[in-house]
Every structure is written in C-alpha cells, then in structure tokens.
Structure 1
Amino acid sequence: MSFLTDLPLLLGSEIYRGSSYGQWHPLRVPRVSTVLDLSRALGWLPPARFRSSPRARPAALSVWHTPAYLAALQRAEASQTVDEATRERHGLGSAANPVFPEMFRRPATGAGGSLLAGELLRHGGRVHNPGGGTHHGMPDRANGFCYLNDAVLAVISLRRNGAQRVAYVDIDAHHMDGVEHAFADDPDTLLISTHEEKRWPFTGALTDAGIGQTFNLPLPRGLNDSEFALARDRVILPAVEAFAPDAIVLQCGADAVDEDPLSRLSLSNNAHWDVVARLMEMAPRFLLLGGGGYNPWSVGRLWTGAWAVLSGQDVPERLPPEAEAVLRGLRFDGNSRGKNPPEHWFTTLRDAPRTGPIRGEVQDRVATLAARIRRGPGMG
C-alpha cells in the first residue's frame, strides 16, 4: 500500500445516509452525509482526497472489544432484538443505545475508518474521519450512543503503524470516559479533555489525573470563545508541546457549540477550527475525528469547516448556491431549534465569534492544570 503524506484525506461512507438510531433519538439527524455533500458542493473533496471507510471485522475490533460483546452486537443487528440478559450485560437495547438496522455495521464503519487512518498515517499526514469519535464505548458494553470505541482503536492503530507517543485531545461537550478507561495508566498516551461540568457521564473531574498524563478540564455552562481560548493556550497547547507526540488524535465533537440541544456550552465553531489549525502543526501524524453533535446544521457546518482547515481551503463569507441547497435540505423534526432556523445556518459555514468575559472559576481551573503541566508527568 502506498501512503500519501502531503495530501489530506477525508474518510466517509454512504452507510450514514439515511441511517438513524430512531425517530426520537438525538442521532436521528444527518451528520457525515452533510459533511460529504457540503464538501463536494464547495469543491473541497475531489476523488484523490476521499477514501471509503471500510467496515471493521470482529477480529480487528477484538484488539480492544471482547469477542462476547462483538458477537452480541452482531446478533442484535441480525435479529433486531435483545434479551434482558444481553441488555443488562452489554448495554444494548437501551434508550441511549437502541436496536436499529445498522447497529453493528454503522459503528464498525466508523471504527474501520479510524483503524485505516492509522495505516494511512504510517509515514505522516492528515486524515479526517467525521464518522469517528465514539469515545464512550467500553470493551464489553455500549455506552452513551457509542457501540464501539473507534477513538481507542485509532490510538492502537497508530501505535501498530509506528507512532510511539500519541496525544489524544477531546473537545466534545461530554467527557472521554471510554478513552480514559483505556489509556489513563499509559505513560505514552497523553489525554486531554475539555467538557461541560455536571453533565453525563459525570466523570472527568479536575483532580482525575491517571499517572500524570491525563488532564481533565470540566468547564461551566455558558462557556464562551474567550474562555475556551484561555484553555487552549494554557492547557491544551502547552501540554501537547511538552509531551512531544509523534501523532495527535483530536476528537472534535460539535456539541459544545451554542446551538446544540444536548449541552449548555456557548462556543462558536471558530473555537474548534482554531484548535484544529494549531494542533495539526504539532506532530507529523494528525487524525481528526467527529464525535457528538445533535443539531444537523451546526454539526455539518462545523465539521465541514474543520475539513477546510485541515485541507487548506478558504471558507467563503457566503456559501455558493449548491452548498446552500445542502443546508436548506436538512430537517430537524421534533426540536424547537429546527422550527425557525436562522438564515445564517443556510448561507454560511463560519459562526460569528462568541467572545465574552473570562470567569474566575475558568481562570482558576485552567491555572490548576497549567501548574501541573509545568511540573511535568507523574507529579499529580
């Protein structure tokens, strides 16, 4: 296999188009298909930059997930039902992780993309897998909308393909509990998570530090761009620089923006794009994952703009008609935000900045982690 080190690649699949967790589930909205359609409408996704995400087989997934769980997940998809024992042991068939037609094939495709990304990045480069970022999955059970944990599999794949020190940065509104479960005691993996405090899964406290390579920054509701920039400049970037990774994985969950229905953070998509721009220059291998995001307009615009940053495209002030048509074709039934969407959700990718005052509680938490970074690993 040949590896392209100078050509950013986007991984995707048509399995996401029309696939839904159910009529009332937050993941009923189109996400990856919107990114592909917008990127193509803007001329940002020629064939040379696209790769079809393969579906990972159970043998590949079993490097972290248990064979018993993988078998149960496949059985549930085939029969479209689970018994009580399976629900209790593996978390399948719950409100968060329901039975639906592609409940194995869809997450296995996201996982296949992250496993492939590790191979594509063997000699360096940049890859975007918007179908990835399922950071809550556990070895033996589904958890928090995540049937598999492709983020963990991505780190494993990068290691198999030559990376020795991997920095995993997670800016989703929800804590990276599955990834921390996998790597909190691994000195060669740096873990950084910014997430909303007092929100599910209620893990990731400021004091949770593993062996000194884990930095959790819970942040208050209403978080603005100015506050996040402080966290970026005093926690994320210094920690990554001090760690000196040869690979970076960024989980770019879109649920931390103001319009998302499942968080109470108030970022603009500029905050995410700025992190992408800064981190992608800090290691020879860079993998950008999706994650949370439950408003179809905000998540599609954010991840498409992140691809623009990754691939060196200029984001236009006004979208051309073809791209605008993609956004006007989206629906958000059953949510009040979908009844009267503002015009800029159709005509732009970039949000207006959401700057504001930096609250004392944010300053204090950032200062606590900044001091830990200066002390170095293992110092608590």
Structure 2
Amino acid sequence: MPAPRFIGSEIYRHSSYGAWHPLRIPRVSTVKDLARALGWLPPSAFVQSPRAKPPALWRFHRPDYIAALQDAERTQLVTAETRARYALGTPSNPVFPEMYRRPATAVGGSLLAGELVARGGVVYSPAGGTHHGMPDRANGFCYLNDPVFAIRSLRDNGATRVAYVDIDAHHPDGVEAAFASDPDTCLVSTHEAGRWPRTGALTDRGAGQVWNLPMPAGSTDDDMAMVLDQLILPVVDDFRPDAIVLQCGADAVAEDPQSRMTLSNNAHWAVVAALRPLAPRMVVLGGGGYNPWSVGRLWTGVWGTLVGAEIPDRLPPAAASVLRALRWIGPQREITPQEHWTETLRDAPRNAPVTELVRDGISALVARRSAWV
C-alpha cells in the first residue's frame, strides 16, 4: 500500500474571502507548516494541487455558472442579475481576487485524489470539503463542490461503491443533492440540529442510502463516540464500499464560532482512524472551521493519524511558533489565543452523558438500517 499523500497549494496562503468573512483566516497553510515543523510531511508525501479547468467542472456545475464565476473574478464585479441568479457577490459568497482559481484548485485536488488512490491508499486534501456548492450557484461559502468531484473521480478510477461520511457541523446539502438517488453512494452526515442550511432531517432517505443524524448543540466526544460505534461504522461496513470520502470539517469543536457543538479534536481523529480499515481507498477532505488555531491543530492531527504519527504532549518550539504567529481579528477585537491553542495539538477530551436526542436519533436510524439490511 503506498504511503499517504498530502495535496496542497500556496494559493490558500495568499488568498482570503475578505477582511470580515469567516474564511479570512489561514487554514491549509497552517496545516502544511505545522505538519512540516513536526517532521510529518516530507517532500515525498506532498503533491501540488492542479487547478480544474472549466470542461472538467461542467460535469457537475452548469457552464453558464462557471462562466459567471470566472467573469466575476476577472472584473471583480457582479451585476444585480448575476447576484440574484448565481448567489455571487453576497456576504456569504463575496467577490475576491481568487474566487474562481481558489475553489477550482480545491476541485483539482479532489480529482487528483481519486487518481492517486486508484490502486489503493489514502490521500488528504485539507483544502477540500466545500460541500454546499450547487450546480448553478454558490452556496454557504462554497463556489464549487469538490466532494462531488472526489466521488466521481473515484468512480472514474475504478471504484464502484463509495461511502461519503461528513462530520462537519453543517449538513452537506450539495453532496446530498448530487447523490441522494444513487444506490451506489452511501451518504452519512452528522451535523448540528437547526443550523444552516437546515437540511439533513433524520427522516431523509433518498434511495435508501442517506443517513442523516442531526445532533444537538453541546454535543460532546461521548455523543460522537456512540454515533461512530452504533451508526457510522455499521452503516459503512454494511455498505461494503471500495472507497471512502471523509469530509472532516473542524467547525464542530468547542471553540468554533460557527456552531454550538462542543467536540474536542479527539472525536474527529477517532473517526479518521476507525474508517481507514473499511475500504482500500480513502480520500480525506477538510471543510468548515473558523478558529485558526483549532482548525490548524485538528487538521494537522488528521494528517498525523493517517501517517501513524505519535501526537506529542507538548509541541516542539518550531511547531508552537507556527501557531503563535497566527492572528485572528474578530468583529470588535483581536482574539487572544488560549495557551493550549499554541502549545499543544491534542485537546483535552470533552465528556458528558450522551444526550437523549442523539440516543433517539441513533435508535431510529438503527431500526431503519435493520429493515434495510
């Protein structure tokens, strides 16, 4: 089995959605710098991401939408008609200098990932995970939908049954729209109940392979551990995929400003480790995450989990300096990092009794799964 590969690009270091957008923060560049400082990312493991070209994007996105996205990047303007039709130039999906090239690079990474694991293995593309993008419009900070392309690339390169697991705090409405009626794609999502886009109801079924579990605000590691053991792993194992795509959004942790879930990064790493043996091919993507320290630490730990690295109790000086150099300016003030955000990689576990909503949701889905099997 080939060693895990890490796909990245410097475009993420030098672009931002704007001074007050939640995606003003560095994320992929922090993961790359931190992994290198820890000695986990040798040159042989790093792969430069290509940029997807319009004909490739037309396999999911409408040509007129791609043309409008390119034109908005070129002119740095949108008309009222373009804004209304394609949701470009909105507070969520603003005009910025790399608004086409940056997401097209993420799609290029997802396309390449499917090729790299054609004969087995695992690829990590933390810039991926833009799971809200729709065929004809931007949606929820996502101009393009690279997870859709990751699934299709896996199919193009020999996979027949793909399991897509999404542990972002937000439901992957764009991915579900693409594959809900496809019996050869299994979709499993955990997301915060009642949070935008307010889709992903427990009762959604698609062709029978859609499994949504809304989780309450305040969900902890114990909630996710039960979900992993009693829902995610049995569903994926029963499906018997020959490829897994994991969207590992970091916005369900306690310090993130865009959700009210309270997981630690240990919960995410446990999902990564548990899913890895269930298919010969695995593509791991990023996703949401809006606290620069918690995102950098969580996603670096994902890479460490994939390569079998030992998580240090305390970061060595070179790694800690990467985190100390980060700045996060909020709406009213600059955020001062907590000590563990700059000195450690692993969060303290966040434990509490499993909530009734999680127990009831699992019970309902397990009953449905028993009937399905």
Q: Shorter chain as normaliser: what TM range? A: over 0.9
Q: Distance in 2 between matches of 1:156 and 1:339?
A: 40
1:373 corresponds to which letter in structure 2? R
Secondary structure at 2:259's aligned position in 1? coil
User: Which residue in 2 is equivalent to 1:289?
Assistant: 285
Describe the superposition over 1:93-141 as per-residue Cα deviations: whole angstroms up to 9, x where unpaired. Answer: 0110000000000000101000000100110100000000000000010
Aligned to 2:190: 194
SS at match of 2:155: helix
Pick from 89, 93, 97 the counterpart of residue 97 of structure 1: 93
Q: How far off its partner does 1:337 sit?
A: 9.1
Matching residue within 297, 309, 313 for 1:301: 297
Q: 5+ unaligned residues in a row in structure 2: which ranges?
A: none
Partner of 2:103: 107
CA distance in 1, matches of 2:131, 2:266: 22
State which of 62, 65, 68 in structure 2 corresponds to 1:69: 65
The superposition leaves residues 167-215 of structure 1 with CA deviations (integer Å, 9 ceiling, x where unpaired) of 0000000000000000000000000000001110010000011121000
- Give the structure 2 partner of residue 177 of structure 1: 173
Alpha-carbon spacing, 1:112–1:313, altered in 2? closer, same or farther (3 Å): same
Cα-to-partner distance string for 1:291-331 (whole Å, 9 max, x where unaligned): 00000000000000000001111111110100000000001
The answer to whether the 8 Å contact 2:219/2:355 transfers is no
Letter in 1 for 2:278: M
Aligned to 1:23: 19
In the alignment, what sits opposite 1:367?
363
Q: What is the count of residue pairs matched by the alignment? A: 373
CA shift, 1:18, in A, is 2.6
8 A contact 1:137–1:144 mirrored in 2? yes
Corresponding residue number in structure 1 for 2:40:
44
Q: Distance in 2 between matches of 1:59 and 1:255?
A: 32
Give how far 1:340 is off. 2.7
- State percent identity of aligned pairs: 65
Name the TM-score, length of structure 1 as normaliser: 0.97
Residue in structure 2 matched with residue 277 of structure 1 by the alignment: 273
- Matched residues in 2 for 1:345 and 1:337: separation? 18
TM-score normalised per structure 2: 0.99
Secondary structure at 2:131's aligned position in 1? coil
Task: Work out whether residues 192 and 215 of structure 2, in 8 Å CA contact, stay in contact via their aligned partners in 1.
Answer: yes
Determine if contact 1:238/1:373 at 8 Å carries over to the other structure: no
Secondary structure of 2:246's counterpart equals strand
Q: Does 1:8 align with 2:7?
A: no
In 2, are the aligned partners of 1:328 and 1:346 still within 8 Å (CA)? yes
CA separation in 1, counterparts of 2:258 and 2:49?
A: 27
Distance 1:106 1:223 in 2: 32
Counterpart of 2:148 in structure 1 is 152
Task: Decide whether the 8 Å contact of 1:37 with 1:326 is kept in 2.
Answer: yes
Give the root-mean-square deviation of aligned CA atoms: 1.0
SS in 1 for 2:118: coil
Rounded Cα–Cα distance in structure 2 between residues aligned with 1:307 and 1:359: 30
Work out whether residues 41 and 323 of structure 1, in 8 Å CA contact, stay in contact via their aligned partners in 2: yes
For residues 342 and 91 of structure 1, what CA distance do their matches in structure 2 show? Answer: 36
Residue 319 of structure 1 contacts residue 349 of structure 1 at CA under 8 Å; is this kept in 2? yes
SS in 2 for 1:287: strand
Rate the CA distance shift 1:94–1:6 in 2: closer, same or farther, 3 A. same
